[in-house]
Amino acid sequence: MPEKLPVIPDSEVTARLEKELPGWKLEDGWLRRKYSTDGWPTTLMLVNAIGFLSEAAYHHPDLEVTWGKLWVKLKTHASAGITERDFALAGEIEKLVLWRPPKGSVMEGTPNKFVFSK
């Protein structure tokens, strides 16, 4: 069973989100993030990538999936609230989803919109 971590107060969650994860918000007791994609195939790739990352971390978000959009929701069920585990996974998801090759890299990067935050 996962370790029961202390819950972070809502005021601290909100302040940290603004500073550390500006695309995320606190809503109804969950860390939430919406990602938009260029269509269904990319949305499914994104779901699978987040699934892989979450399984490796052994901390699993709720996902809401539709054409061109994905909502990620995180909270630590064992603690009944937002914990450091949620911030850590949200940070890893954000890095994974929004990563692009640096300009001038040997990797060109996709010419498509692919995944973007909106």
Nearest to 53 by CA among 94, 110, 2, 16: 94
Per the domain annotation, does 37 fall within a domain? Answer: yes
How many domains does one find in the chain?
A: 1
Q: What predicted TM-score, i.e. pTM, was given to this entire model? A: 0.91
Per the domain annotation, does 27 fall within a domain? Answer: yes
Per the domain annotation, does 52 fall within a domain? Answer: yes
> How many other C-beta atoms can be found within 10 angstroms of the C-beta atom of residue 65?
12
Per the domain annotation, does 86 fall within a domain? Answer: yes
Per the domain annotation, does 4 fall within a domain? Answer: no
Which token pair is 55?
């399984």
Per the domain annotation, does 104 fall within a domain? Answer: no
**pLDDT by position in tens, the chain (length 118):** 567 899 999 999 999 999 999 999 999 999 999 999 999 999 999 999 999 999 999 999 999 999 999 999 999 999 999 999 999 999 999 999 988 899 999 998 888 777 877 5
Full residue range of the structural domain in which residue 20 is found: 10-99+109-117
Per the domain annotation, does 19 fall within a domain? Answer: yes
Per the domain annotation, does 1 fall within a domain? Answer: no
CATH number for 81? 3.30.1360.20
Pairing, β 69-74 against β 25-27: unpaired
The alpha carbon of 39 is separated from its chain's Cα centroid by a whole number of angstroms, namely 18
